[in-house]
Amino acid sequence: MDYLKLFRVEPGSSVRLNKIDPDFKDKHEDKESAELEIVKQNQKIHDLQYLMYAENRRSLLICLQAMDAAGKDGTINHVFAAMNAQGARVRSFKTPSHEEAAHDFLWRIHNATPAKGEVVIFNRSHYEDVLVVRVHKLVPKEVWSERYDLINDFERNLVENGTHILKFFLHISLDEQLRRFKQRLDDPARHWKITDADYTERRLWPEYQNAYEDALEKTSTKHAPWFVIPANRKWFRNLAVSRIVTGTLESLDMKFPEPVVNIDEIRRQYHAAEEAAAASAP
């Protein structure tokens, strides 16, 4: 099954999140049945990211958005841990600082986008400015509603300058979110994740779903597509995201750059050094 097509939000299409099953697991019955494929995909991600870093001609930006407890951190830990930290980084976006708030909403985002050869994962992103800002009425509708076009233009500019963009909405159910909140309460190692906003934001679930649907509809483009990933099962979420990332990177037909030195001459010097070492050995 082609996950690049199955979960992609086609440009101009209508999105109704309550019609998308967050429990979807494809042919796999459980984590064990998917584990071998997850390992295989992670190895591909490792190799392809290394190739992107070596080629140094383009970059990849991955945006992760979700309701609280949907698994943004888990996705990063399980899918992108396979990448070499030398060419990959994660950037989180929280409440804007005083300096950031003094600029336009994309100012802090542009500064965090990947350089050539890099993979950057946004844990939340510029989409907070048409989600949280909208739901909490932090700016008037006439302000946030103009931002969809600004975002599309911003992403198009990145693509035209060699950055490929993948955007993932990790889709969980209201019941699954409550179950994960309980896990945080029951596990002292997860207490640090609990915030006062967990349950207050939960009461705004319908408003957030509407905001996400509009964002997905208005900003899923050919050059910067959105993917709605069924995320009630963490292992399937990881599998789906990894397959989409590997499929995208494979489609780029990347090549290792030509060497900048004379390989035959370097090989000759190596053999000469090897012979000298052998001759001087006791």
Residues 156 and 159: their CA atoms lie apart, in Å, by 5
Per-residue pLDDT of the chain (282 residues; tens, 9 = 90+): 899 999 999 999 999 999 999 999 999 988 998 989 999 999 999 999 999 999 999 999 999 999 999 999 999 998 888 898 889 999 999 889 999 999 999 999 999 999 999 999 999 999 999 999 999 999 999 999 999 999 999 999 999 999 999 999 999 999 999 999 998 888 888 888 888 778 889 999 999 999 999 999 999 999 999 999 999 999 999 999 999 999 999 999 999 998 888 888 889 988 888 888 888 877
Helices (H) and strands (E) in the chain, counts: 13, 6
Q: Give the residue carrying structure tokens 């300096």.
A: 99
What pLDDT, on a 0 to 100 scale, did the predictor assign at position 187?
A: 85
Backbone angles phi, psi at 260, to 5 degrees: -95, 5
- Report H helices in the chain: 3-6, 31-55, 72-79, 98-101, 107-110, 132-135, 141-144, 147-160, 174-186, 197-202, 205-219, 234-251, 263-280
Label residue 280 exposed, middle or buried (CB < 10 Å: 0-12, 13-18, 19+). exposed
- The whole-model pTM stands at 0.93
**Domain region containing 231:** 3-280
Q: Pull the structure tokens for residue 52.
A: 């992107």
d(CA 59, CA 53): 8
Reading the block at residue 85, the tokens are 């930290």
SS3 call for 190: helix
pLDDT value of residue 264: 87
Q: How many domains does the chain have?
A: 1
Cβ-based neighbours of 251, under 8 Å, separated by 6 or more: none
Let me know how long the chain is.
Answer: 282
Rounded to whole angstroms, how far apart are CA atoms 245 and 81? Answer: 13
Tokens of 234: 């963490």
Q: What is the CATH number of the domain that holds 185?
A: 3.40.50.300
